[in-house]
Structure formats: C-alpha cells, structure tokens
Structure 1
Amino acid sequence: MAIYDTFKNRTDQALPKLAPAEIKRIQRFGKLVCFQDGEQLFEAGISYFGMYVVLKGAICISRHDGLGNESIITEHGPGEFAGEISQLAGAPTLVNGHAIGQVEALTLSIESLRALIIAEAELGERIVRAFIIRRVEQIENKDGGLVLVAAPGHPSMHALQGWLNSNGLPHRVLDPREDEQARALCEHYQPQTQDWPLVVCPNGDVKRNPSIVTLGRCLGTLPELSPDDIWDVIVVGAGPAGLATAVYAASEGLSVLVLETRAYGGQAAASARIENYLGFPTGISGGALAGRAFVQSQKFGVKMAIPAPAGRLLCDTYPLQVEMCGSLTLLQGRTVVLSCGARYRRPSLANLRQFEGKGVYYWASPLEAGLCGSEEVILVGGGNSAGQAAVYLSTHSAKVHMLIRKDSLASTMSSYLIERIAATPNIELHTESEIVALEGSDEEGLQQVRVRDNRSRLETDYDICRVFLFIGADPNTGWLGDCGVEVDDKGFILTGYDVPGACATSGRAGLETSVPGVFAIGDVRANSTKRVAAAVGEGAAVVSQIHGFLASRR
C-alpha cells in the first residue's frame, strides 16, 4: 500500500477507520453491494457516486489521467471508506477504484451521503475532513486530474492554471519539448498555432485551446441545468456574501443554485491573509476561507455552476428568470440574490490588455507569486487588498515597488497594514506616482514599465516584468438592464429605503431591490461596507428576508 506525504502526516484524518457501531449507523443511508476481484467500482472522469464503505475485502484507489498513467494512492480495507470532494460536490470522480478480493461494501448516493453528514454531525465531520485532505493530496502530487500540454510561458496557460488553482482542481503541465507522452500527443493531433494548449480531460478527451467553460464541462464544475427546475433561490456570484447566502438558505431547507463567473470566493479568495475576520486571531488566507465555505455549501446540497456568468435577468414573469451568457437556457428562481461583486478596474494604458496574464495581474495568488522569482515587481494600489498583496509578494520577490496616487496610505488602508509595510525592508512606497507606459512584446510579455512622479513630473523606466494592479473595481451591474433594477450614479444597486419612492410602510425588506423578489448583498450593493465580515453578514441576513418574501407569495 502506497501512502503519500499528505497521508503520512495526517493518516488518522485522511484514512480514518470506522467502528462497527458507526458502520451500523451508516447502514440506513446506503445499500449493500458486492464486487468480484479486479472489478472496477468507479472510473476517473466518468463515474458519479457518493461514498463506498468497505465491509469485506479492499478497494484499491489509484491516481489516473487521460493519457493512461496510473499510480496507486492507497487501499481502503474493512471499516474504511472511498470518496473525496468530487463526490460531495456531485462531480465525476478523479480517481479509479478496483476491487481487491471479494468485496462487500455499503454504497451511498450523493444525496444519501449529504443526508448522512447532516444527520450524524460527529461522523460527518470526520468524513468531510478526510475528503478535504484527500483532495489536498491530489493537488500536491499532480499525477492525476487534468493534463495541460504547451511550451512554458504560453499566454493561455496562465488563465487556465489560474482558474484550476482557484477552484482547487488537480492538474499538471507537460512540456512537449521534454516529455515523451506530450510529444506523442502533439504528433498525433498536429496542433496549429491557434490550437495551443492541448488539454487532456480525465476521461481521455483531448481539447484544443479550450475555454474555461469547456474545462468546467470536462471536470463537472459546470453541470447541465434544466430550464424546468424552479429554484427557491438563485444566487449570482459566489464571493463571501453569495456563499453565506447559499449555506444559510440551503441549511434551512431552500433549494439553492449558485452561478459564478470564475471561481468560488470571488476577489476575497485572492487575499494572501485576512487578519481582521472574527474568530481567526492569526488570520486566514482568502483561499482557505473560500474553500471551507464551498465545502460547507456542498454539504447542504447547494448546486454550484462554475463558470456560469449571468447574462440577463428577466423580471416580467414569475418565477424570475436568469439567462447565462452564451446560452439560451432560462433558469427559473422564486427569488434572485445579486452578489455579483465588481469587475477589476483597469488604468488607461493603451496596450494594457496585451500584457494581461503575461506580466500584468489583478490578484496575487501563489501562482503569480511563483512567477516573481528573485525579481523586482510593481504593485499599484493603496487599499487593504493592495497592502496584503504587497506584504505577501515581498516574501517571494526581491523588491516590491508600491505605487499610490495620494501622498500617504492613511486614508485608504488599515493602520496595522501601514505599519507592516513600513517595517518590511523590501517594500518601497512611491507616493503621488503612477504607471504611464508598458513595454514588451507578445512573445516575451511585459519587459519594461515607465513610472511618473506626479510632483516632479520625472519619468523613470524600470526593467520589471510583473505588475500587480489593485486599484479598485466597478460594480458588475451592466447585465441588469432588462430587469429595471435601480442603481445609483456609480452603478451600485439600491436596496431598502434607498430605492426611490420607498418608505417605511412599503413593506420592502432592507436588502430587497426595486424589483420584488430580487435582493442585493455584498460589494455590489450601494452603501455596503466593503469588508468580508460585512459581506458574510449580509449573506446570512438576506435569508430571513427571502423567507418573508416567499411566505407573502404563498
């Protein structure tokens, strides 16, 4: 039995053994099945299941990719169970499972697994923890899941890897110049310039230069959604506010669909460390917080669709209807919660888009930090997110040049971050400064940055290849025009008494928009507090208002 480092360090949590009494409690959620020696129980990229609990024999779990590579991860003997986050999320498994000897097992469907986790709290905690650690092991060892084939530095690779990393999806990258399997794949498919990168799905399907929508279909993060289903709540946006709504609404028995454009956690997931969130005295990374909230939502049966950007909101019929971009499918919801956040603001630089993903970035995750090496980088922005990113990047780069237009950080950043930046020797703050030009090429990416000191008007060229932009965001509300949701002069959604004509006797809930049954929470809402804790609070508070609206409709 081969057990990798993640399992070695946390074996009791990753591979727990259930007591006979615990197995007896699970029996009412599953059914008995039998398999012959060597028989396949589930197949990577194809099989959907909830969990198998081994009663007799063993199940061999092996890592598998679409190129046919397979390696043993572990074996589950009597009292152990097979499954990981894919099963809880209702996505196809990323591993293979074969019977060793005559196997008897309890099999649980996805719905039965969720019912077990909720009904048996202590047992459910152990199962969920094991699922999470097993996913971590898959990500760390990179021998299964999706395979991306391209030469290093290909411009499309950063976007694909960023999406996969943000959603906690295992993958590996092969260079056809160095890897024999990748070279053979390229010889077979003969990719042209527009076909790179090649991507191999776990089930063996090969995609040419796929979009993240194609990857979502491939990995099961973007399920087929029926226009006939009527959801109690459709949440648009899976940032902290949207995830909170999903968790609280689903835990109270409402059916919930979440549509997310890129990755769960939104912009907060890119924060290297959130230090002022209640209950985490040493701080928590945005990715860790988002990952826990995502798993929590799956535990309560939330249907998550990623990437699934909303294209239109139609309010002239009831139930309300949401149309996804690129699809004619109209999804029906008794209520809609808008937590669609904001889009990253871009400075007015002529060739900015040319370098996005090739030297210009809007967040600072480990993927971007890993590109910095021992180079100097530039970070633009003076808010808390910018401060957190600067401190994080200072541990991965030789120097961080921090540019702000104001004469100090005092009015835009928390004092603890200002003090930390001042105490970090390789962060240099440039006040009243801005980028005025970017230089480079499509092949090499960003090569040089010109910075202007607005006091002296002096311009300086820096041989810098990485620029991080944290200059705020604009509300993502342009797609609401067909519904008539009222917004303020900056595009933020008006709610409650802020809606024109609303009064204390109107019956409008505090987070309800000008359209009955449509609510707005988080950063996209006018006059909201732009903090993670505030967003989570609004996400929880809106659920009681949803109940009130649904009761009035009944």
Structure 2
Amino acid sequence: MSLPILLTVDDDPSVSRTVARDLRRQYGEHYRIMRADSGMDALEALREVKLRGGTVAAILADYRMPQMDGIQFLEQAMDLFPHARRALLTAYADTEAAIQAINVVDVDHYLLKPWDPPEEKLYPVVDALVETWKAVGEQEVAETKIVGHRWSARSYEVREFLARNSVPYRWYSADEPEGARLLEAAGATPEDVPVVITPDGEALRSPSGPEVAAAVGLNTTPAEDFYDLIVIGGGPAGLGAAVYGASEGLRTVIVERDATGGQAGQSSRIENYLGFPDGVSGTQLTDRARRQAQRFGAEVLTARDVMGLEARGSSRVVKFGDGTEIAAHSVVLATGVSYRALAAGGSEDLTGRGIYYGAASTEAPNCSGQDAYVVGGANSAGQAAVYLSRFAKSVTLLVRGESLERSMSHYLIEQLRGIDNVNVRLRTTVEETHGEEHLERLTICEGDGFTEAVATNHLFVFIGAAPRTEWLDGTISRDQNGFVLTGPDLLVDGRRPRAWRPDRDPYYLESSIPGVFVAGDVRSQSVKRVASAVGEGAMAVTLVHRYLEDR
C-alpha cells in the first residue's frame, strides 16, 4: 500500500480492463493501478484503502453507469479522498454533462472515448492529474472566483484569458444570490464587475490583464535583464523557437500578450498536423510545447504587451507598455496574426456580448439548444463549426466565397458535410448586427442582394488575417499589408537595405535589423499552417546561432 493509487471505474469490463492496462503500462512503476466495474464496488475499495492508510492520486470514472453514475460516485469518493484528482470518462454526447460536472464535483478533466492512442489522448490528461496531485499534496487546488455579468464583454475577456492560460476558476453571475454575496463580501457593487477573487481572498475590481495574470500566479516579470534570445509571441512559431533555443543552451524568454498557443491554441481540433493521425486539440498541442520549452529552461512571460524594438549597439532591446525593457543578443519575432474585425454595423459594440473572435471555448457550452453562426471559410472557421455542432441546435457557416474548396482543407469539408446540424451558406455576408444588452439578431446578405434577418445570440468570427505590426513603424521593413519582410525580400535589384551594416546579405528569416528574425504567420509570404510555423521557429534558432557566430 506504499504506492499511491490510480483508480479507474467503468461498468463495461472490456473498457475497464483497457484503461487499467494502459495506465499500468505507463504508470505501473510508481503507482498502484486499481479498477472497479461499478460505483458501489469502487467505493468499497476506497473505504478499504482509507482504513489501511493508503493514498489515492487520481480517479477516472465513467459517466454513464447504472445505479450510480460517475458524478454521483465522485461526490461520495470526494468524502473519502478529497484531494484525489478527478476525471470523467464520457462519450461525445456527454460533453455538456462533463462540463457541468466541473462545477458540481470539481472534475479536473473530462476524457472523451475512445482515447486511443493513449500517448496522445490519455497520458497527457493523467500526467496533468498526477502533477497537480503531487504539487498540492493534501491541500486544496487554488481556485480563483470570477463574479460578472453574462453579457459583460470584460467579464468574457477575463474568463477567456484564464481558460486559455489553464488557470482553474469558478464563475458566478452577479445576478444570482451567491454572486451577490461575494460582491458584498468584497465591498464591490454590480457596476464593478468583473470582480476577480484570488485564492488568498484578494478582490480585484475590473482588473487589467497584467493585474489578473500577476494575481493568479502567472509569470509577468522577467528574471533577468539580458538574454541570449527573446521570442516575441507564444504561438506555434514562438514555441518552436523557444524549445529549440532553450534546448540548445540559449538563455531564452518568451513574451506573450495573451496566452501561449496563439490562434492555433484556440483550435478545437487540428487533424492535419504531422504525427497525430487522430488529430489533436490546439490547446493540448500548444500546452505540450509550452511545458517542453519550460522543461528546457525557457522563461515564459504572460500579459506583457511589447510596444517597441530597437538595435542598441550589439543588443536588441524590447520595450514594454509599462516603460520597462529587456535586452538580448537576438530576437525572434513570432507575433502571428489576428482575425480581421467584422465590418457589419453595430458589431463593435456587441463584441464580447454575443460576437466573439476565435473559437471562444468558454462560450461554446452556452450555445446549447440555440442557433449559432460562424463567419469565415478557412480551416479555423470549419473547425469551430465542427466543435460548436456538439453544443448548438444548429450551426450556420457564412462564407463570402463561392466555394469552400479554395480556402478549406478537403478533410474538413467532408466532415462538415457529414454533420446534420451544420449548414453552409455560400456567397453570404453579415451586413448588420442588432441587440441592446447583447446580440439578438443578424442581417445577412446573399450574393444576389437578398437580405434576411436571423435570430441568434452567438456569432463567431474567423475572417482574414491581419498582422499586429503597427508598433514596428519606422523600425523594421514591412510589406504593404503589414507583414514583415525577411531575407531575399529585403533586397531591391540585388542591393541590400540602405541601413544594413553587416558585410553579407540578410539570412533567409532575418529582418531589416540584423539579429532580429521572423517566424510564422507574421512573416511576409509565409505559409499559414501550424507545421510551417513550428518549422520556421526552429529554423530561426539555427540562423540565430549563425548570426551569433559571425558577429
């Protein structure tokens, strides 16, 4: 009984044996693997473990079991081992129930069946469970509380920020009794929302992003003033650069404004990434990359807005919005792109209150039983439509073009065709958005000029790619659309840029400032794919080494 226990509970004996086998293969050296075929049998086993003084690290319970479902079982199991981490095994149809269980029994994860191959779908979840259990020991997991309004744009932004940074939190509506009690205890009013209450009881009224990040324990302050490599942007390109830079001995820091992962991190499913034949969620892929970079020693700064970049002698200096700065021998610029703003009338006022840019994972469950609309015709829009179809009564994809084939991968088009509650409307745009407190309806226009009013509370926007490079004005050469020029594209009639000092041509990914390299979607003429972004991030580090050697 000296080893901590991993317990799996499933009424299907074959599933129970398979889970136990997979767990034993990966964790059998350090954990005792137990399985039970019912909630009652599992509780009896847990009582015996309790009497013998054993410990339980994690419990994986099936949701749909006769006599006692997974949530009912976990409620009783928590009385015996309140600090054991908990995961719910569900079928796709049970996803909404699994999300609700997070609030009912503090479920840490839900795992969709089937989980094969376990290396991609099971083990990362169990790794997270046991790492959390080991980190907190016999203490409760720190939980942040958010009190806000359902249709408050700023409340949505805080929730999305915490979710994307994998910070556990509990949401309370200011209009409900418990939310009102929390506001009163914090000395706040409904006008102060969102109010963020940290695990140690500190109440923040309508806090800024950096204030939230610092309060929940995210790293916002650099450990050093000078590095070998600063990576600006934590998407696939930036994470790729950080992994290779740190693993090759460079003192590396990633600076991210929102959350690591970028647009890829918001993708519900990436199915054409090399090495993942069954697909992988953007969150899972980028979370692995972040943890990998940190394991090699890379530092990650969150909620830091970069406002300037300059060459200062041999140093490359990055300036933050609060007036502070850090410097390094080299920089990789990997800020990616953002979705273009919807041009429809009224959309700006309703952003965050029914209109969302990106997948908005925190909002998807709120689409349950409702009609949702997605604007866009590329892969990100298609992936969002597939994801939302699990929650919404119907999902309508509004595509400006005449076909999906020009902008969306074939596999995704075929998926959409096979989902009954997804509709695709081609040659269609959103002309107006309407609503007072929140989005209530859209005016959409077809190519022949026919307009139609449709009722909806949810519009998800995935249109175009715009680089956020205005802060580089007068510093680095960019093309007419704002994408950063690199390598051969900097040469005009074979001549180097006027201010170029080295006695060589710019390296392939090098910008108009020597030692500043560019990777991923923000680079002019880049291929807008996750795999190519990761590859460019790795290539940029190779060129960083060459630059450092040639100085």
TM-score where L is the length of structure 1: 0.74
TM-fit CA distance, 1:430? 1.2
The residue number in structure 1 matching 2:510 is 512
1:488–1:453 Cα change, 3 Å: same
Give runs of aligned pairs for residues 91-240 of structure 1, distance below 5 A: 132-134=128-130, 144-175=142-173, 178=176, 180=178, 182-225=179-222, 229-240=225-236
Tell me if 1:242 matches 2:238. Answer: yes
2:89 corresponding residue in structure 1: none
Q: Which residue is equivalent to 1:474?
A: 466
Q: 1:13 to 1:214 in 2, by over 3 A?
A: farther
* Equivalent residues in 2 for 1:73-88, closer than 5 Å: 73-74=83-84
SS at match of 2:253: strand
The structure-2 alpha-carbon separation of the partners of 1:183 and 1:390, relative to structure 1 and needing over 3 Å to count, comes to closer
Residue in structure 1 matched with residue 412 of structure 2 by the alignment: 417
Superimposed CA distance per residue, residues 236-272 of structure 1 (whole angstroms, 9 cap, x where no aligned partner): 0000000000000000100011111111110001111
- The aligned counterpart of 2:443 is 450
Over residues 474-508 of structure 1, what are the superposed CA-to-partner deviations in whole Å (9 max), with x where a residue is unaligned? 112111125x2111111111111111346698342
Q: In 2, Cα distance between the equivalents of 1:6 and 1:218?
A: 35
* C-alpha separation in 2, matches of 1:136 and 1:346: 39
* 1:545–1:163 CA distance, 2 compared to 1 (3 A): same
- Residue equivalent to 1:550: 548
CA distance 1:380–1:151, shift in 2 (3 Å) = closer
Equivalent of residue 307 in structure 2, options 293, 308, 311: 311
CA deviation after TM superposition for structure 1 residue 157, in Å: 2.1
Match of 2:477 in 1: 486
Query: Which is further off, 542-551 or 190-199?
Result: 190-199
Would the aligned equivalents of 1:387 and 1:417 in 2 still touch at CA under 8 Å?
A: yes
Structure 1 SS opposite 2:440: strand
Q: Give the deviation of 1:179 after TM superposition.
A: 5.3
Q: Secondary structure at the match of 1:220?
A: coil
Relative to 1, partners in 2 of residues 1:158 and 1:176: Cα closer, same or farther, differing over 3 Å?
closer
| 1:233 alignment partner, SS class | strand
When residues 365 and 184 of structure 1 are mapped into structure 2, their CA distance, relative to the original with a 3 A threshold, is: closer
Deviation (angstroms), 1:129: 8.1
Shift of 1:60: 11
- Distance in 2 of aligned mates of 1:298 and 1:169: 17
Q: Which moved more, 1:191-200 or 1:431-440?
A: 191-200
Query: In 2, are the aligned partners of 1:14 and 1:134 still within 8 Å (CA)?
Result: no
Is residue 271 of structure 1 aligned with residue 287 of structure 2?
no
How far apart are the structure 1 equivalents of 2:435 and 2:176? 27
CA change 1:135–1:386 in 2 (3 A) is farther
Equivalent of residue 497 in structure 1, options 472, 488, 499? 488
Classify 1:133/1:544 alpha carbon distance in 2 versus 1 (closer, same or farther; 3 Å).
Answer: same
Q: How many residues of Structure 1 are paired with residues of Structure 2 in the alignment?
A: 449
Equivalent position to 2:323, from 323, 328, 351: 328
Does 379-388 or 230-239 show the bigger shift? 379-388
Question: Cα offset for 1:174?
Answer: 2.9
Q: Which residue of 1 aligns with 2:77?
A: none
Q: Could you say which residue in structure 2 is the equivalent of 1:123?
A: none
Distance in structure 2 (CA, Å) of the matches to 1:151 and 1:406: 37
What SS does the aligned partner of 2:227 have? strand
Aligned to 1:339: 334
In the alignment, is residue 256 of structure 1 matched against residue 252 of structure 2? yes
**SS across alignment from 1:272:** coil
Q: Deviations over 1:450-482 (max 9, x none)?
A: 101121x11100011111111122112111125
Contact 1:440 1:447 in 2 (8 A): yes
The corresponding residue for 2:392 is: 397
Q: CA, structure 1 residues 13+6, in 2 after alignment: closer, same or farther (shift >3 Å)?
A: farther
Distance 2:294 2:532 in 1: 23
* Alpha carbons 2:364, 2:388 under 8 Å: kept: yes
> Which residue of structure 1 aligns with residue 346 of structure 2?
351
| Alignment correspondent of 1:438 | 433
Give the drift of 1:509.
1.3
Aligned partners of 2:183 and 2:190 also within 8 Å: no
> Aligned-residue CA RMSD in angstroms?
3.3
TM-aligned CA deviation for residue 218 of structure 1: 1.0
C-alpha deviation, 1:409, in angstroms: 1.2
Equivalent residue number for residue 284 of structure 1 = 280
**Cα distance in structure 2, aligned partners of 1:4 and 1:371:** 33
Contact 1:403 1:433 in 2 (8 A): yes
Flag structure 2 segments of 5+ consecutive residues without an equivalent: 11-18, 32-52, 58-80, 86-122, 497-502
Would the alpha carbon gap of residues 433 and 5 (structure 1) be closer, same or farther in structure 2, given more than 3 Å must change? farther
What is the identity, as a one-letter code, of the residue corresponding to 1:190? Answer: G
Alpha-carbon distance in structure 2 between the residues aligned to 1:318 and 1:13: 51
Distance 1:353 1:202 in 2: 34
Distance 1:190 1:13, change over 3 A: farther
Give 1:183 deviation, angstroms.
4.2
In the other structure, the counterpart of 1:28 is: none
Q: Are the counterparts in 2 of residues 257 and 303 from structure 1 also a CA contact under 8 Å?
A: yes
Residues 402 and 427, structure 1, Cα contact 8 Å, conserved in 2 = yes
* Structure 1 residues 528 and 470: CA distance shift in structure 2, 3 A: same
Q: What is the TM-score of this pair, normalised by structure 2?
A: 0.75
Alignment partners' CA distance in 1, 2:331 and 2:157: 29
Q: What is aligned with 1:361? A: 356
- C-alpha separation in 2, matches of 1:551 and 1:466: 53
Q: Is the 8 A contact 2:233 2:256 kept in 1?
A: yes
In 1, the alpha carbon distance for the partners of 2:433 and 2:125 equals 46
